[in-house]
């Protein structure tokens, strides 16, 4: 009888010299780490902000949207929302404004937030985020 907890991505048992060992695929651990992806978005976003600081605003938005989408592949909806929010915070603080100052400048910030969230959610949904 199959347990509810044991889905297709669950661990399997390997017999190694008479001792049972449970082997869990790495992707199971990676999918459960949305905070790790937010951490990478934060520090990668700092590096990305340095690279696109002098670029046109559309290029900076596209670069952050691609980074948010890339880091949202295969994670949960809440993890994707976290990555999108962190992308917006870094872009707002270090690309739009100076020295990490967060400010709401009108519809442009709302549009950037929507773009980053949509990119992250679409990437997570397209790759079948765990429910």
> How distant is the alpha carbon of residue 1 from its chain centre?
36
Give the least confident one: 32-36, 42-46, 93-97.
32-36
For residues 28 and 9, is the Cβ–Cβ distance under 8 A? Answer: yes
Mean pLDDT (the chain, rounded): 82
**pLDDT over threshold 60, residue 110:** yes
pLDDT tens-place string over residues 51-86: 998 999 999 999 999 999 999 988 888 889 999 999
The pLDDT score that the predictor gives to residue 74 is: 84
- Residue 91's pLDDT band, with cuts at 50, 70 and 90, is very high
Structure tokens at 51: 């690279």
pLDDT tens-place string over residues 13-31: 555 555 555 666 666 665 5
Structure tokens at 105: 């400048």
pLDDT tens-place string over residues 29-38: 655 655 688 8
The pLDDT score that the predictor gives to residue 20 is: 57
What residues does 15 pair with on adjacent strands?
20
The pLDDT score that the predictor gives to residue 38 is: 85
Alpha carbons 81 and 38: distance in angstroms, whole number: 10
Torsion, CA 74, CA 76, CA 79, CA 81, rounded to 10: 100
For residues 65 and 119, is the Cβ–Cβ distance under 8 A? Answer: yes
Residue 64: how many CB atoms within 10 A of its CB?
28
**pTM score of the predicted model:** 0.72
Longest CA span, the chain: 66
């Amino acid at each position: 009888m199959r347990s509810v907890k044991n889905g297709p991505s669950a661990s399997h048992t390997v017999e190694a010299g008479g001792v049972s060992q449970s082997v869990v695929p790495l992707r199971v651990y990676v999918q459960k780490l949305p905070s790790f992806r937010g951490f990478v978005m934060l520090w990668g976003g700092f590096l990305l902000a340095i690279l696109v600081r002098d670029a046109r605003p559309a290029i900076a938005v596209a670069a952050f949207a691609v980074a948010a989408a890339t880091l949202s592949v295969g994670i949960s909806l809440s993890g994707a929302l976290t990555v999108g929010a962190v992308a917006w915070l870094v872009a707002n603080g270090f690309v739009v404004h100076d020295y990490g100052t967060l400010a709401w400048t009108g519809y442009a910030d709302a549009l950037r937030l929507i773009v980053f969230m949509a990119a992250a959610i679409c990437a997570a949904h397209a790759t079948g985020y765990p429910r």
